[in-house]
Structure 1
Amino acid sequence: MKKGVSTMAEAALQVEKRQKNTKSYLKQLRKSGKIPGVYYMHGKDSIPLIVNEKELRKLLTSNISVFTLNFGKGGRKSCVIREVQRDPVKGNILHVDLMGVKATEKIVVKVPIHLVGTPEGVKTEGGILEHHLREVEVECLPKEIPDSIEVDVSSLKIGDSILVKDIEPGNVEIVTDKEHLLATVVPPAVMPEVTPAEEVEVEEELKEPEVIGEKERDQQEKTAEK
């Protein structure tokens, strides 16, 4: 099984400092296609920001973990996205937290897992590949953060599995529990045989009419006369 690491690509996000924090101002920002945010770093004052929503969405859909914040004349800072707040109903981005990082200090980030190849058990035995864990947490220097970790599953047969401990991530240390199941190949689902419904003949029970005896008939007539 081959496992590979896709190295981090360079990316930058243009931002501007935000001077206001009123509810009406933030609402107007979002209507204009911009998102309020904040940049912070341990031991330093936080900086309120304005981020272009389209550029932020592009960054969120990429596999890039560490990128550069471009403040224009205010300089450039390396950071990671720490939290994205969304509207619970519409899912719109409401706010973003950006955390500064140092090139010489290790950080913990999540990295996606990409499965590569078609398992032998799928091609020749009709099995089904199940992808259980789609990302892992790793600890490393910012410049060593991979875009993704590739795991070759082509040799897996039915019943074979790959655990987190089987990954070879290169220069990064995996923080996620090593015993977590990453992927496995299971047997194909067996569909029950459908048989034609058998016709069932229902016999109707013939009930004989109840015969009222002479004594009972006389009793009914006397009751009626009263």
Structure 2
Amino acid sequence: MSENKIKAEARTEFGKGAARRIRREDKVPAVLYGHGADPVHLTLPGHDLMMALKQSNALLSIEVEGGESHLALPKQVQRDPIKGFIEHADLLIVRKGEKVTVEVPVHVVGEAVSGSLVVTEHASIAIEAEATHLPEFVEASIAGLDVGSQVHASDIALPKGSTLAIDPDTLVVNVVAAPTADQVEAELEQAESEAGIERDESATEVASDEAAAPAE
């Protein structure tokens, strides 16, 4: 995994007002901590951070003004619930050779047999790996799997140096029979009934009822 270099400024102003001023300048307030060091309060360029965090478990090389540099992983990122921009970031200091536990996305690849429905039970799994060699994702292959087949965490091939950090029997992907049109319709009607929704008669149903009515 390549390092994403980000230049940071030391942050000396705190509080909601200071944070708003930082964000208006397209910057992000952040805290860098770990390995027993005192937390370091920083201001990061918003666009650079956003681009770096598009990669899962991005490894950041934080270059603080004054020449200090740290390797870090995003620990917690707060985003605006509507606009999606980054409001605050907690960054964890890591060192080369150090192993960390992270959540890695699972990409389902291949196609199961016709007439099946592939259900992803876990969109990510926890693994332990070297901080500077974290995979962006792992793959769960369903190629040619029949209905009733399952992919567990232990079935997923991990990159060299990585180990599972969850129960190997954890169900990740389940291949089940695809529901019929009648089953889907029945489930929809039940959901609507439970929600108190009454259906209007469709034009087809009205025409059917009129055709079945006796002539006067």
Q: TM-score, normalised by structure 2?
A: 0.78
Judged with a 3 Å threshold, the aligned counterparts in structure 2 of structure 1 residues 112 and 9 are, in CA distance, closer, same or farther, namely farther
Distance 1:39 1:132 in 2: 33
Judged with a 3 Å threshold, the aligned counterparts in structure 2 of structure 1 residues 75 and 47 are, in CA distance, closer, same or farther, namely same
Say which one has the larger Rg.
Answer: 1
* 1:172 counterpart letter in structure 2: S
2:158 corresponds to 1:171: no
Query: With CA pairs under 8 Å and 6+ residues apart, which has the higher RCO, 1 or 2?
Result: 1
2:164 corresponds to 1:151: no
Larger deviation: 64-73 or 174-183?
Answer: 64-73
Provide, for residues 75-114 of structure 1, a one-character-per-residue CA deviation record: whole Å limited to 9, x for no partner.
3211100111234565543211111012232211111111
Q: Which residue of 2 aligns with 1:41?
A: 34
Q: Which residue of 1 aligns with 2:6?
A: 13
Distance 1:191 1:66 in 2: 47
Provide, for residues 171-192 of structure 1, a one-character-per-residue CA deviation record: whole Å limited to 9, x for no partner.
2111123222211222222112
Distance 2:178 2:118 in 1: 10
Judged with a 3 Å threshold, the aligned counterparts in structure 2 of structure 1 residues 10 and 139 are, in CA distance, closer, same or farther, namely same
Report deviation, 1:64. 4.0
Q: Which residue of 1 aligns with 2:68?
A: 75
For the residue of structure 2 that corresponds to 1:146, the secondary structure is coil
2:127 corresponds to 1:138: yes
Contact 1:164-1:181 within 8 A present in 2 as well: yes
2:109 corresponds to 1:96: no
Distance 2:76 2:55 in 1: 16
2:68 corresponds to 1:55: no
Larger deviation: 25-34 or 63-72?
Answer: 63-72
* 1:43 counterpart letter in structure 2: G
Please give the root-mean-square deviation of Cα atoms over the aligned residues, in Å: 2.6
Judged with a 3 Å threshold, the aligned counterparts in structure 2 of structure 1 residues 91 and 147 are, in CA distance, closer, same or farther, namely closer
For the residue of structure 2 that corresponds to 1:145, the secondary structure is coil
2:212 corresponds to 1:199: yes
Contact 1:63-1:148 within 8 A present in 2 as well: yes
Contact 2:96-2:131 within 8 A present in 1 as well: yes
Contact 1:65-1:109 within 8 A present in 2 as well: no
Give % identity. 27
Distance 1:99 1:51 in 2: 15
Aligned residues: 192
Distance 1:10 1:23 in 2: 31
Structure 2 unaligned regions, length at least 5: 186-203
Q: Which residue of 1 aligns with 2:104?
A: 111
Moved beyond 3 Å, runs of 4+: 86-92, 193-198
Structure 1 unaligned regions, length at least 5: 1-7, 204-226
